[in-house]
Structure 1
């Protein structure tokens, strides 16, 4: 039980952003209370990167911001104060070594999120940050346009500064309920439409269930809709019993879920042949036939793709897999080449927020000062991390943003 009810700062949410805010403020000599509604802090951080904890990446700040789209520049001040190099230095200072085994993604050398969480917990204890778990904040208290504290079902705590770091709606099993949106709205803040992001997608195409054994490397996905045909993503793809998943799908889902909400279903095209275009595919097959003129067409296609997928695409083209290439009509060959270059798929659903790693949407950025993360409406109220309307792709982007925005919020600049 905490007897003290008054603090310099109260942080609502014990994820990456909230923990960073608490640490930075406590290092500045502030008294800090960190409230988390789950029994333990950092539950979502524990699951990040499949438990390996991809902290950040090696991109320059300009390249990093570009990956977030048109609102990416909102991060300029936060990254200027706390970029990936600063984050690496921070963790080194608290005893965690990091590395980038692929030259891009940065992990703790242990490749375990437990290493990160233990170090953060130790630092919170060292700095005498009061941490209360199993505490759901239900209301932000304010007098006119100034924050004065927070209220839980059983208690009230007071502070002239409150950081809201409650995350989004993704992974409700890890505590996501959208509390921060509701609390902010009660104080006059606006929230954009919220969509689940970073998750598998379902397809209308039933043939995908026959192709589950293989990972398709360097697949490219794009929307087959003129108005949105610039939406693309590249990476490894895996077919499932009812759709597609893998890194490329997680990235692509950020763009797809708002469109699915609008159109109901969406046609996309997938290049599954490592970027080869129609001409390159045509030349490849001609060379294969010259090398082995008596082979069945299936054998030739299997030089490009796994057998199960080769069979599925031949079926889409209406071609018997036992046919000889020379016996196939010109129109059938053309159709096959087109399908190999851009395989059509129809996305018709997803599993919603229960499978979403992040949320697309959040508190309107126009109402937050990017130099401080402080609300433009309520003095002493700060936001950081996923609760704001800013999300990025896979690869350490969202965690870096959480730490950087948490750092800036924790400075408590007026």
Structure 2
């Protein structure tokens, strides 16, 4: 029997602790908060988007950073295996659009309770309100973990401390400090899955406007970085919503001055079809001013901004709009351009990009290549994915890999 210390009682920590205990090890979980799963409680707006019911190869296509590293872990503990594991633990699940999996109760707390019960039944010991201060190594092998309350001799230590997102949940970058102290490289961290601040001032009147079925893309130096179809939202700072969050994870390592964002407000219509649609509306409202002729085509608050950007005077009678002017209007609708100034802060981001360099971690076991008996799981690693349950699944899969191989 080995003594295993797990630092952090989040998603990856709870899974790692259970599977390590199931293998007959003595497992102690040290958590600086007063309870387990504090970040789990706020995921999915309190509902907890646990995973995405998708095949492993498709899952990996939704991983932004280091998908190859995660291949072994995701195939060993894929979404379907996680779902069976949770249901066997008494958690009833449901699958919603896009394959997103939630607890049937819509309560994130039920996910935490299920995982905590698994751990307690396996004999895992929890130490709450205890802060790890140092991880000690002797001759490149784990020896002790020192906290503000005690010193624990151990054979293995699994670091599951999360990133820097939502620091109120305890994610304050502790794991990065431990990794650096032990000789690991930490890839610079940045926000991922977050809103985007805009330079544009003419979008201020659009605050609160939600757009559905639009295409949002980003280009850098004329080359497309990424494109997403779905929903987005104009906010007091710029833009947010599912499409924007995913896009932020693809542009977060570039200078924002090099990025342009484009919204296709009518992606279902090609230019020719859209032009015919505009002509039909113009015929219907031929005796009105342009500013009053687009309400069937666009949200009311968006019309003045689109018209202004097209360069046509709002008071222009519809029956005098030229073909060239109509072309400018069409271009504005199909390529509504935005200039990002920065991403929202890392404290607001759903996940943290960057972290412990995966080249220094064994991909099948999550064990350090530098220190025997030291493991890293979840968000502390340099891995991140799009929204839809993928990041929590990464936490569960990497936790399983460590716990099952410790």
Same fold by TM-score, threshold 0.5 exceeded? yes
User: Residue by residue, what CA displacement relative to the aligned partner does 1:139-175 show, whole Å, maximum 9, x if unpaired?
Assistant: 1111111112211133111211111111111111211
* Aligned residue in 1 for 2:44: 49
Instruction: Provide closer, same or farther for how the CA distance between residues 357 and 69 of structure 1 changes in structure 2, counting only shifts above 3 A.
Output: closer
Matches of 2:129 and 2:203, distance apart in 1: 43
Provide the C-alpha distance between the structure 1 equivalents of 2:39 and 2:224, rounded to a whole number of angstroms.
Answer: 33
Task: Give the aligned partner of residue 140 of structure 2.
Answer: 145
Aligned to 1:269: 262
1:228 deviation in Å?
Answer: 4.4
Q: Deviations over 1:95-142 (max 9, x none)?
A: 101111325111111111011112222222222211111222121111
Q: Distance in 2 between matches of 1:279 and 1:365?
A: 48
The reply to whether residue 108 of structure 1 matches residue 103 of structure 2 is yes
* CA-to-aligned-CA distance 1:232-267 (integer Å, 9 cap, x gap): 2232111112201111111111122222xx355632
* TM-score, structure 1 as length reference: 0.93
Residue 393 (structure 1) aligned with residue 382 (structure 2): no
> Contact 1:265 / 1:348 at 8 angstroms: preserved in 2?
no
Matched, 1:293 2:269: no
- Structure 1 residue aligned with 2:12, among 12, 17, 38? 17
Match of 2:177 in 1: 182
CA distance in 2, matches of 1:66, 1:91: 24
Among 103, 111, 119, the residue aligned to 1:124: 119
Asked if the contact 1:208–1:241 (Cα under 8 Å) also holds between the matched residues in 2, the reply is no
Q: What are the ranges of 5 or more consecutive residues in structure 1 without an aligned counterpart?
A: 1-5
Deviation for aligned residue 1:79 = 1.5
**Residue 186 of structure 2 contacts residue 356 of structure 2 at CA under 8 Å; is this kept in 1?**
yes
Q: How far apart, in 2, do the equivalents of 1:315 and 1:65 lie?
A: 43
Report the Cα distance in structure 2 between the residues aligned to 1:52 and 1:337, rounded to whole angstroms.
40
| Larger strand proportion of the pair | 2
Query: In structure 2, what is the equivalent of residue 30 of structure 1?
Result: 25
User: Which of 182, 205, 208 does residue 203 from structure 2 map onto?
Assistant: 208
2:69 is equivalent to residue 66 of structure 1: no
SS in 1 for 2:144: strand
* Contact 2:256-2:341 at 8 Å conserved across structures: no
Partners in 1 of 2:294 and 2:221 — Cα distance?
30
1:318-357 matches, within 5 Å, as 318-357=311-350
On the 8 A contact 1:150/1:156 being kept in 2, the answer is yes
Distance in 1 between the 2:343 and 2:57 partners? 32
Measured after TM superposition, the shift of residue 74 of structure 1 is 1.5
Is 1:265–1:347's contact at 8 Å kept on the other side of the alignment? no
Q: Tell me, yes or no, if structure 1 residue 368 matches structure 2 residue 361.
A: yes
Shift in CA distance, 383/227, structure 1 to aligned 2, threshold 3 Å: farther
Alpha-carbon distance between aligned partners in 1 of 2:116 and 2:14, rounded to the nearest angstrom = 9
Contact 1:206 1:242 in 2 (8 A): no
Q: Give the aligned CA root-mean-square deviation in angstroms.
A: 1.9
Matched length: 406
1:278 equivalent to 2:280? Answer no
CA–CA distance in 2 between the matches of 1:118 and 1:224? Answer: 44
**Distance (Å, rounded) in 1 between the aligned partners of 2:205 and 2:262:** 19
Tell me which residue corresponds to 2:191.
Answer: 196
Mean Cα displacement is larger for which, 336-345 or 231-240? 231-240
Alignment-derived partner of residue 307 in structure 1: 300
Contact 1:208 1:242 in 2 (8 A): no
* Cα pair 1:161 1:412 within 8 Å, conserved: no
User: Matches of 1:265 and 1:112 in 2, distance apart?
Assistant: 41
Q: Is the 8 A contact 1:10 1:32 kept in 2?
A: yes
Report the alpha carbon displacement of residue 59 of structure 1 after superposing the two structures with TM.
1.8
Q: Distance in 2 between matches of 1:379 and 1:393?
A: 32
The whole-number CA distance in structure 2 between the counterparts of 1:132 and 1:295 is: 71
CA distance in 2, matches of 1:227, 1:400: 34
Aligned residues of 2:16 and 2:403 also touching (Cα < 8 A)? yes
Q: What 5-or-longer segments of structure 2 have no aligned partner? A: none
Q: Equivalent residue for 1:233?
A: 228
**2:50·2:101 contact (CA, 8 Å) conserved in 1?**
yes
- How far is 1:298 from its partner? 3.5
Shift of 1:11: 0.4
SS in 2 for 1:43: coil
Match of 1:409 among 391, 402, 405: 402
Partners of 1:254 and 1:342 in 2: CA distance = 21
